[in-house]
A and B are shown apart, each in its own frame.
Chain A
Amino acid sequence: MNDQTLTPEERAANLKGMGCARKRVEDVRFTQGKGNYVDDIKLDGMLFGDFVRSPYAHARVVTVNKEAALAVPGVVAVLTAEDLAPLGLHWMPTLAGDKQMVLADGKVLFQGQEVAYVVAEDRYIAADAVELVEVEYEELPVITDPFEALKSDVVLREDLEGQTEGAHGPRKHHNHIFTWEQGDKDATEAILAEADVVAEEMVYYHRTHPCPLETCGCVASMDKVTGKLTLYGTFQAPHAIRTVVSLISGLAEHNIRVISPDIGGGFGNKVGAYAGYVCSVVASIVTGKPVKWVEDRMENLMSTAFARDYWMQGKIAATKDGKITGLWCHTTADHGGFDACADPTKFPAGFMNICTGSYDIPTAYLAVDGVYTNKAPGGVAYRCSFRVTEAAYFIERMIEVLAIKLNMDAAELRRINFIKADQFPYQSALGWEYDSGDYHTAWEKALKAVNYEGLRSEQAQRIEDFKAGKTRKLLGIGLTHFTEIVGAGPVKNCDILGLGMFDSCEIRIHPTGSAIARLGTISQGQGHATTFAQIIATEIGLPADDITLEEGDTDTAPYGLGTYGSRSTPVAGAATAMAARKIRAKAQMIAAYLLEVHDNDVEWDVDRFAVKGAPERFKTMKEIAFAAYNQAIPGLEPGLEAVSYYDPPNMTYPFGAYICVMEIDVDTGEWEVRKFYALDDCGTRINPMIIDGQVHGGVTEALAIAMGQEIAYDEMGNVKTGTLMDFFLPTAWETPNYITDFTVTPSPHHPIGAKGVGESPNVGGVPAFSNAVHDAFRPFGLVQSHMPHDHWRIWKIANGLGMHG
C-alpha cells in the first residue's frame, strides 16, 4: 500500500502546500454566481429595514412625524431615537472610545446620518415609506474644514460639552478629540534648528472610501422560543461583533450567533458597527421576525466608514550630502461627526508612527490632533494597516521634497538613507522594532528591472523636446520604497474594546486523512480557504485539496479578532501553523507506536514519519490519522485535533519597491500609466498566484485613490461624490498592466516567516502614482500638489507653471 515510488519533491508537489500557485478553491462558486452573500439570505417572514437620512450636514431635528409612513399598508414600525432611548440603544460605543448616535438624538452631524428606521414587509414598501416620514430640521452652521473647526465657536458635539478629558487624553477645544504624541519633540526641534537643510511641506491625504463591491448589510433573526439571536452580516470581525452586541444589548453572549457569510470585499469598510445593525437587531427582537437591512451604493459612500483625511505638516532635516538627521510631523486628522476610527485602543492615530518609513532617521517627532467636523465618521484602514498608507505617503512625499531641496536624484537619496540589512532588528525613533528587511537589495533590483538610468535619459530628452515644442506630453517616474507594519498585534499593546488582538485556528483531522480547519478570521476575497489549507498541507503532510476551511460562524469557529490590517496571515496564519505542529507532534507519537520505535527515533519526511536511518519504514499522515481513531495507544487520547490561540511577539514589516512610469498630457491633464513595476517582500510566500492577485487589486485601488477617487463635500457639507459616476472606481479599461516581482526576507518571529501582503500594494502604490505626477513636473518647478490627481488638478499644475502659453 505504501507508495515508495515518488520522490520527496513529487510527494511535496502533490500536497499543493506552501509555495504552490494553487488555484483558488473559492472561485468555483464565485465564478458561477453561487456565492452566498448577506443579500442572498432569505428567511421565512423576513422584514426589511430602510433609513430616513438627513439631507443636512448640521441641523437640529425638531420633530419626526411617522404618521403618514405608518399608514402605508405593510409598514410594521418606524423607529426613532425616542424609541431606542428606553433600551439605552439610541447611542452606541465606537471602536475609538467615543459614542455615536444610532438614530438622530436631537440633531444631526453629517449629511446622510440615520434619523429614523422604517421596518416593512417588503423592501419596496420600506423605500416608499421612507419618503413619507416627515422630519422638521432647523439648520445649523456647517464646518467641513478641520482647521476651522478648531477655531470655531460652533459646538458640534453638544453631548460632550464641558468634557475636557477624552478617551485619549485632554481635549483642547470643544471640537477637538485627542492629541497623540510620539518621539522626542525637543531633540527633533533642536536638529531642525541646526540642520544644513530642512525641507518643509504640507502633505494632504484626501478623504476617500473603501467602496467594496458589496455594500454593508445584515439580517437579524431573534428566535423568541430559544431566546437566541442569529445575526448574519458583512462583518470583517464576527467574533468582536458578537461581544459588542452582547455588551450593548444585554443579551448573553452564548445566545448570540454571528455569521459572516461570503463577503464581497471589505477593505476596512466592514470592521465597525453601524446603526443598521443595531436597528435591525432591535426590530427583530421587538417583532420576533427576521429583519434585513442592506445599504445602497449612495448610503455606503455617504455614511459608512470613510478613509484618510489627514493633513500632514512635515519637516525633514538632512546634511548637505543628503543624510537625513530628523523628521517632524504634525497631523490634523478630520474624523467627522463622531470618532469611529477602527484602531487598536492605544493607537488613536493607528500606526502613523511608522512614518519614518524605510529610512534610518535617528530622531523624530509625531503629533496627531483628531478633530470633529460635519462629515461622516470613519477613518478606517482602507486596504492598509491602521493609518499606514498615510504614513507611507507622507514620508515618500517628504523624501521627494527633500530631493528637490538638495537637487539630488530621489533614488540616490533613498539609497543613502535606507536602514541597512545588518541593522535589523531595527529600533525606530518613533517606537517600533522592525523585524527584518533588505531594502538595498530590493531597491537595486527594482531600478535595474525598469532600467532607471535609461528612463532618466529618456525623460531628459523629453524635456528638451517639450521645450522645443515637439511634444505636449511629459514623462514622470514615480519612485517609492515603503515599509508596512502589519499583523496587529501583540496583546500586550494591541486590543480593540479590550479584546486582545490574538487570533486562532482549530484543526480536526478526520479518520480517513482529510481535515477541517476553522479560524477566527474571515475572508472577504483574500482566498483564505486556499492559502491556509496550503500552510496546513505543508505542516502536516495532507493534501491541501483534502482540507476544508471554515470561518465566520461564531458558534463553530474559535474566537479571533477578524480580518483587516493584513493581520490574517501574520496572526491567524501563525496560529494555523502552530495548531498543525501540535497535530504533528501527536502524530509523531502515534507513528512511533505503530512503527514500534521510540518517539525520537522517527523523523518527519514531507507527508510521513519514517524511522531514522530506515526511510523504507514509515507511516504516512493518512495512516496515522486512521490509527488515531482505531488504535488504543497507551498514554494517548484518541482523535487528532488541535487548537492554537496565537499572540504574536511583534508586528511583521513587509516592504517593497514600486516604480511607476507615467505619460501626462499637459493640455488636458490626461495621464497614462506606461509601466508599473511592483516588487514586494512579504517574507515567505504561501501562494504566488494569490500574492499577484492581491498586488493587482491593491495597486488598482491605489491608482483609483491617487488619480481621482475622493469623497468631496461642498461648503454646506453636501457629499459631491455619492455615486460611481463621480466616485472613481476603475474598470478593466482604466487598469494598466502590472509587472510583479519579489525578494524574500522571512520574518524571524513568525512560525513560517510570512508577513502579509494584501495591503502593501495600496500602501506603496499611492505614493508611486503621486510621485510620478510630481516627478513629471519637477523640472518645471513643482514641489507639492495634493491628490487626487484627476484631469483638472493635473491641468491646474500645468496652468500654474505657465505651460499653457
Chain B
Amino acid sequence: MIPAGFEYHRPGDIASAIGILQEHGDEARVIAGGHSLIPMMKLRMTDMSHLVDLQAIEELKGIEIESDIVTLGAMVTQHELITHDGLASAIPLIREAALQIADPQVRYVGTVGGNVANGDPGNDMPGLMQCLNATFELSGPDGNRSVAAREFYEAAYFTAREEEEILTRISIPKPGAGIGQAYEKQKRKIGDYATAAAAVMVGNGTASVAMTNLADTPIWSEDASNALAGGDVEGCVAAMLDAIDPVADNRGPVEFKKHVAAVMLRRAIDRAQNRAG
C-alpha cells in the first residue's frame, strides 16, 4: 500500500495548473480530494509521475445559486454539498445523494469535481448530474468549453475531457416548482459503491431518470425518462432495464443486479412522485 514516487505540484490558479499538465503530458494528473486516485496509486494500479493538487486554486471553489441555475466549483466537497443551506432548498436531490456517498470522513475531503471527472462508474455524482442535466465546464490550453453531463462519459475512466483539460465548474439548471426528486441506493455497507442506484426527477409532465454502477458509464435513458413523463412507470423500468448492462462482481450476479435496479428505480419513482407538486 505504498505508491511509487511522484512529484507534487500545488499551483495557485487554473492557468498554472494547465501549464503543468502541458509540460508533463500523460505523466501528470490533477488531484482533487484524492479518494479515488490515491488508493489506485497505493495499489500500484496507477503510476503517476506528477500530481497536480488543485486545493490552492480559489477559482475552483464555491457554490453559487442564481434564479434559474446553480453552479458548483469543482473543488466543492461532498460535505459542503450536504451542509449548504441554499443548495438543499434549490436542488434537494444533491444533498440526498451526497449523504449516500462514502462516510463523513471521506466527504470532508472528497470533491464533486473529482467524483464526476474521474469517470469511475461506481461514483454517484455522474448519474445524478445526468439526471439533473448538468453541464461541465472545462478549461484547457485552447480555452474554455462546456460538455453536457449526458455526453461526457465514454467508458469506464474515459470521458470527453482531454488530457490537458481541467473540469472547473458544474452548472445545473434549477428544477422547476412541482418537480419531485429522489435518490435511491442499495449498498452493502457504509462507504460502498452502489449495487444499484437511481436518480429520478418527475413532475409537470416531465421526467428524468438515471442510474449508477450498472454499466461502464452512468446510464441516463431518454426512453425511460419519456415513459415516466407520460406516467408509465413500468414502461420506464423496462426501458431502463434495456439500457443498463451490469457485470457480476462481489455484490452479486447480473440477474440479481437487474432485479435490484428495477426495485431501486421503482422506489425512487414512488418517492419522487410523492414529492412532486
Q: B252 and A795: CB pair below 8 A?
A: yes
Stretch in B1-9, B147-155, B201-209, B225-233 with 4+ CB within 8 Å of A: B1-9
Instruction: Give Cα A131–Cα B251 distance, bound, in whole angstroms.
Output: 31
Report the minimal beta-carbon distance from B125 to chain A, rounded to whole angstroms. Answer: 18
Report the minimal beta-carbon distance from A722 to chain B, rounded to whole angstroms. Answer: 10
Q: A726 and B250: CB pair below 8 A?
A: yes
For B260, list chain A residues within 8 Å (CB). 667-669, 791, 795
Report the minimal beta-carbon distance from B33 to chain A, rounded to whole angstroms. Answer: 17
Q: A734 and B259: CB pair below 8 A?
A: no
Stretch in B48-56, B85-93, B108-116, B186-194 with 4+ CB within 8 Å of A: B186-194
Instruction: Give Cα A804–Cα B260 distance, bound, in whole angstroms.
Output: 11
Stretch in A110-118, A120-128, A490-498 with 4+ CB within 8 Å of B: A120-128
- Quick check: is A7 within 8 A (CB to CB) of the other chain? no
Kindly supply a per-residue 1/0 record for chain B positions 234-275, scoring 1 wherever the CB is within 8 Å of any chain A CB and 0 otherwise.
Answer: 000000000000000011110010011001000000000000
For A668, list chain B residues within 8 Å (CB). 186, 260, 263
Q: A731 and B190: CB pair below 8 A?
A: yes
Name A793's closest neighbour in chain B (CB-CB): B252
Given the known inter-chain contacts A731-B189, A791-B186, please indicate yes or no for A124 contacting B2, CB distance below 8 A. Answer: yes
B192 CB contact (under 8 Å) in A721, A725, A792: A725
Q: B4 and A804: CB pair below 8 A?
A: no
Kindly supply a per-residue 1/0 record for chain A positions 708-724, scoring 1 wherever the CB is within 8 Å of any chain B CB and 0 otherwise.
Answer: 10001000000011000
Given the known inter-chain contacts A667-B259, A731-B190, A795-B256, please indicate yes or no for A127 contacting B2, CB distance below 8 A. Answer: yes
A791 CB contact (under 8 Å) in B4, B103, B190, B195: B195
For B195, list chain A residues within 8 Å (CB). 791
Q: B2 and A792: CB pair below 8 A?
A: no
For B103, list chain A residues within 8 Å (CB). 731, 733
- Quick check: is B145 within 8 A (CB to CB) of the other chain? no
Report the minimal beta-carbon distance from A364 to chain B, rounded to whole angstroms. Answer: 38
- Quick check: is A728 within 8 A (CB to CB) of the other chain? yes
Q: B250 and A721: CB pair below 8 A?
A: yes
- Quick check: is A189 within 8 A (CB to CB) of the other chain? no
For B252, list chain A residues within 8 Å (CB). 790-792, 795
Name B256's closest neighbour in chain A (CB-CB): A792
Kindly supply a per-residue 1/0 record for chain B positions 32-57, scoring 1 wherever the CB is within 8 Å of any chain A CB and 0 otherwise.
Answer: 00000000000110000000000000
Q: A796 and B256: CB pair below 8 A?
A: yes
For A409, list chain B residues within 8 Å (CB). none
Kindly supply a per-residue 1/0 record for chain A positions 278-312, scoring 1 wherever the CB is within 8 Å of any chain B CB and 0 otherwise.
Answer: 00000000000000000011100000000000000
Instruction: Give Cα A437–Cα B214 distance, bound, in whole angstroms.
Output: 53
Q: A733 and B189: CB pair below 8 A?
A: yes
Instruction: Give Cα A297–Cα B43 distance, bound, in whole angstroms.
Output: 11
Instruction: Give Cα A721–Cα B5 distance, bound, in whole angstroms.
Output: 27
For B263, list chain A residues within 8 Å (CB). 667-668
Q: B1 and A728: CB pair below 8 A?
A: no
For B186, list chain A residues within 8 Å (CB). 668, 670, 791
Q: Which one of B2, B189, B251 has the greatest number of beta carbons of chain A within 10 Å?
A: B189
Q: Is the interface of B mostly helix, strand, loop or mixed?
A: loop
- Quick check: is A730 within 8 A (CB to CB) of the other chain? yes
Kindly supply a per-residue 1/0 record for chain A positions 450-466, scoring 1 wherever the CB is within 8 Å of any chain B CB and 0 otherwise.
Answer: 00000000000000000
For B256, list chain A residues within 8 Å (CB). 669, 791-792, 795-796
Report the minimal beta-carbon distance from B234 to chain A, rounded to whole angstroms. Answer: 13
Name B260's closest neighbour in chain A (CB-CB): A668
For B192, list chain A residues within 8 Å (CB). 725
Given the known inter-chain contacts A667-B263, A734-B190, please indicate yes or no for A791 contacting B251, CB distance below 8 A. Answer: yes
Within 666-717 of A, Cβ neighbours of B (below 8 Å) are at 667-670, 708, 712
Instruction: Give Cα A675–Cα B194 distance, bound, in whole angstroms.
Output: 27
Instruction: Give Cα A725–Cα B189 distance, bound, in whole angstroms.
Output: 9
Report the minimal beta-carbon distance from B120 to chain A, rounded to whole angstroms. Answer: 12
Report the minimal beta-carbon distance from B167 to chain A, rounded to whole angstroms. Answer: 25
Instruction: Give Cα A476–Cα B139 distance, bound, in whole angstroms.
Output: 56
For A667, list chain B residues within 8 Å (CB). 259-260, 263
B188 CB contact (under 8 Å) in A128, A297, A298, A790: A790
Q: A804 and B259: CB pair below 8 A?
A: yes
Instruction: Give Cα A297–Cα B1 distance, bound, in whole angstroms.
Output: 8
Instruction: Give Cα A127–Cα B42 distance, bound, in whole angstroms.
Output: 10
Instruction: Give Cα A708–Cα B103 distance, bound, in whole angstroms.
Output: 19
Instruction: Give Cα A201–Cα B93 distance, bound, in whole angstroms.
Output: 49
Instruction: Give Cα A670–Cα B256 distance, bound, in whole angstroms.
Output: 12
A795 CB contact (under 8 Å) in B44, B250, B259: B259
For A128, list chain B residues within 8 Å (CB). 4-5
Instruction: Give Cα A689–Cα B260 distance, bound, in whole angstroms.
Output: 42
Name A50's closest neighbour in chain B (CB-CB): B2
Name A128's closest neighbour in chain B (CB-CB): B4
B253 CB contact (under 8 Å) in A721, A725, A792: A792
For B188, list chain A residues within 8 Å (CB). 708, 728, 790-791
A731 CB contact (under 8 Å) in B2, B44, B191, B193: B191
Name A722's closest neighbour in chain B (CB-CB): B43
Kindly supply a per-residue 1/0 record for chain B positions 1-33, scoring 1 wherever the CB is within 8 Å of any chain A CB and 0 otherwise.
Answer: 110110000000000000000000000000000
Report the minimal beta-carbon distance from A127 to chain B, rounded to whole angstroms. Answer: 4
Name A670's closest neighbour in chain B (CB-CB): B186
Instruction: Give Cα A796–Cα B193 distance, bound, in whole angstroms.
Output: 21
Report the minimal beta-carbon distance from B249 to chain A, rounded to whole angstroms. Answer: 8
Report the minimal beta-carbon distance from B192 to chain A, rounded to whole angstroms. Answer: 7
Within 138-195 of B, Cβ neighbours of A (below 8 Å) are at 186, 188-193, 195
Given the known inter-chain contacts A124-B5, A298-B1, A795-B252, please indicate yes or no for A733 contacting B190, CB distance below 8 A. Answer: yes
Instruction: Give Cα A668–Cα B253 distance, bound, in whole angstroms.
Output: 13
A734 CB contact (under 8 Å) in B5, B43, B189: B189
For A730, list chain B residues within 8 Å (CB). 189
Within 655-670 of A, Cβ neighbours of B (below 8 Å) are at 667-670
Instruction: Give Cα A149–Cα B188 distance, bound, in whole angstroms.
Output: 33
Report the minimal beta-carbon distance from A730 to chain B, rounded to whole angstroms. Answer: 7
Instruction: Give Cα A568–Cα B107 distance, bound, in whole angstroms.
Output: 42
Within 721-756 of A, Cβ neighbours of B (below 8 Å) are at 721, 725-726, 728, 730-731, 733-734
Name A724's closest neighbour in chain B (CB-CB): B191
Report the minimal beta-carbon distance from A404 to chain B, rounded to whole angstroms. Answer: 26
Name A725's closest neighbour in chain B (CB-CB): B192
Given the known inter-chain contacts A124-B2, A668-B260, A804-B259, please indicate yes or no for A728 contacting B189, CB distance below 8 A. Answer: yes
Q: Which one of B44, B192, B256 has the greatest number of beta carbons of chain A within 10 Å?
A: B256
Instruction: Give Cα A131–Cα B103 distance, bound, in whole angstroms.
Output: 33
Q: Which one of B188, B192, B193, B260 has the greatest number of beta carbons of chain A within 10 Å?
A: B188
Name A804's closest neighbour in chain B (CB-CB): B259
Q: B190 and A720: CB pair below 8 A?
A: no
Instruction: Give Cα A297–Cα B195 distance, bound, in whole angstroms.
Output: 24
Show 22 residue pairs from A and B whose CB-CB distance is below 8 angstroms, ordered by the A residue.
A127-B2, A127-B4, A128-B4, A131-B4, A297-B1, A298-B1, A298-B43, A667-B260, A669-B260, A708-B189, A720-B250, A725-B193, A730-B189, A731-B103, A733-B103, A733-B189, A734-B190, A790-B252, A791-B260, A795-B252, A796-B256, A799-B259
Closest 10 CB pairs of A and B: A792-B252, A127-B2, A733-B190, A296-B1, A792-B256, A726-B250, A667-B263, A731-B190, A734-B189, A795-B256
A-binding residues in B (CB < 8 A) = 1-2, 4-5, 43-44, 103, 186, 188-193, 195, 250-253, 256, 259-260, 263
Task: Other than A668-B263, A731-B190, A796-B256, give 14 A-B pairs with Cβ distance below 8 A.
Answer: A127-B4, A131-B4, A296-B2, A298-B1, A298-B43, A670-B186, A725-B192, A726-B250, A731-B189, A790-B252, A791-B256, A795-B259, A799-B259, A804-B259
